[in-house]
Amino acid sequence: MLHEYEMYNNERRRHIPSALWPFFAPDPEKYYRWRVQLDCACITELFTWGNETPPSESRWLDGREALPPGQLRCEHDDGPNPYREIIAWHDRREIPLPADPVDPPKWADPDVWALLRHDEPRASAFWKVTLECGHVEDSMPTDLDWKPDDGPSLADSARVSQMTEEFEALWASHPDFQPDRDLEHTRRMLAAGWPLPRPETECYTCPHVRQIVAYQRVGWLVPREAKQQTEPTPQGRNSRAALERRLRRLEVDAEHLRGRLSEWDDVRDV
């Protein structure tokens, strides 16, 4: 593990100034090793900054986003993406979209496609949102001039009734048109008045993350002298260990913000 970390760290230090090494490429002496078990029964090993905060209370990155405390991505796939309610709206980016083709794709019924397709090029705003499960998604589309304070707009009641009849007829004639989760989502949206933007969206993270249910101490990544291992650790809000934990949390938040700034720069360049 130490050899792998040193190889990874040496490569990382090649791309950042030495002044930033303590924050983004620290010496291995700072890290503590844990063996953890996930709720899928998988067992893996993790590093934490110091040995005070257990991995079940830490936040681990999934790409650029921090997962809720104690969650970790696993290779298991736990079925389809569930729909989750949106609880917060964050950054947005504008993306130009071409006109939809006249001929429907293979998955679409021609009559439904005639209702859904856009015959002119347009642009949409795509938002990064936080879902009720605590995960972050960045594919929620809205009109360009929409703001979260505006709330969703509702379709005319007569139009909702017509759409309901059309969907019911479609489901009756094509029972496999939508899987159950999508069908129930459509029913909820119709019952809510067909709100735009949608108050819920798919979570692409939920099927791939697991909760840490048990952990075991392994020891420092770089073994320490026996005297150092038995030395009492200062306690309290301003102890070195407490300050290091706070610093580590701030580093995770800083990395998250840098990712968001990078996305903003990409949009501005476009």
User: How far apart are the C-alpha atoms of 6 and 47, rounded to whole Å?
Assistant: 13
Confidence of residue 234 (pLDDT cuts 50, 70, 90): very low
User: How far apart are the C-alpha atoms of 70 and 74, rounded to whole Å?
Assistant: 13
Provide the pLDDT for residue 237.
44
User: How far apart are the C-alpha atoms of 202 and 184, rounded to whole Å?
Assistant: 13
Provide the pLDDT for residue 229.
44
Peptide bond into 80 cis (omega under 30): no
pTM of structure: 0.70
Among 81, 167, 151, which Cα is nearest to 116's? 167
Chain segment 110-129, per-residue pLDDT in tens: 777 777 778 888 888 999 99
Among 119, 123, 137, which Cα is nearest to 207's? 137
Side chain identity at residue 158, one-letter code? A
Picking from 67-81, 150-164, 208-222, 253-267, which range would have the lowest pLDDT averaged per residue? 253-267
Longest alpha-carbon distance in the chain: 78
Confidence of residue 64 (pLDDT cuts 50, 70, 90): confident
User: How far apart are the C-alpha atoms of 51 and 151, rounded to whole Å?
Assistant: 45
Cα distances (angstroms) measured from residue 233 to each of 165, 171, 220: 68, 65, 15
For every residue of 89-158, DSSP letters joined together read EEEEEEEEEPPPPSSPPTTS-HHHHHHH--SS-EEEEEEEEEETTS-EEEEEEE-TT--GGG--B---HH
